[in-house]
């Protein structure tokens, strides 16, 4: 397993975030795109709104790169979707799954 993925899973395991649909290998896939449906959403470093906010995305913006890779954060009662971003240390950002729709 990639070092970054291992570190992410360790962080998730210690913060009350459970995997709901992890992929065996989170490869970037061009046809896995989502459109932002809210006026403004945050892209987070980790799948929790207490992590570092990397940037905002706006209604109509397209995000994606990872096919249906989600994590359910029990503490927040929220599902996060992994998205590709150069702003993240590991090139993986997280958005609230309820605020995007699959294209």
Phi, psi of 84 (to 5 degrees): -80, 135
- State the average pLDDT for the chain: 82
DSSP-derived secondary structure for the chain: --HHHHHHHHHHHHTTEEESS--SS--EEEEEEEEE-SSEEEEESSSSTTS-EEEEEETT-EEEEESS-EEEETTTTEEEEEEE-TTSTTSEEEEEGGGEEE-
Banded pLDDT at 93 (limits 50, 70, 90): very high
- pLDDT higher than 80, residue 13: no
Q: How large is the average pLDDT for residues 29-45? A: 90
What the block records as the tokens of 61 is: 């913006």
Q: How far does Cα 1 stand from its chain's mean position?
A: 19
Higher pLDDT, 76 or 27: 76
Banded pLDDT at 27 (limits 50, 70, 90): very low
- pLDDT higher than 80, residue 2: no
Q: How large is the average pLDDT for residues 61-71? A: 91
Banded pLDDT at 84 (limits 50, 70, 90): very high
Domain extent listing, the chain: 3-102
The third-level CATH classification (topology) of the domain covering 3-102 is SH3 type barrels. (2.30.30)
């Amino acid at each position: 397993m990639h070092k970054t993925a291992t570190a992410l899973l360790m962080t998730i395991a210690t913060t009350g975030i459970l995997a709901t649909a992890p992929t065996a290998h989170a490869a970037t896939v061009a046809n896995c795109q989502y459109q932002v449906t809210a006026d403004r959403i945050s892209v987070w470093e980790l799948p929790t709104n207490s992590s570092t906010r990397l940037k905002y995305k706006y209604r109509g913006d397209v995000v994606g790169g990872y096919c249906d890779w989600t994590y359910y954060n029990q503490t927040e009662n929220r599902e996060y979707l992994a998205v590709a971003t150069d702003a993240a240390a590991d090139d993986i950002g997280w958005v609230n799954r309820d605020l995007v729709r699959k294209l």
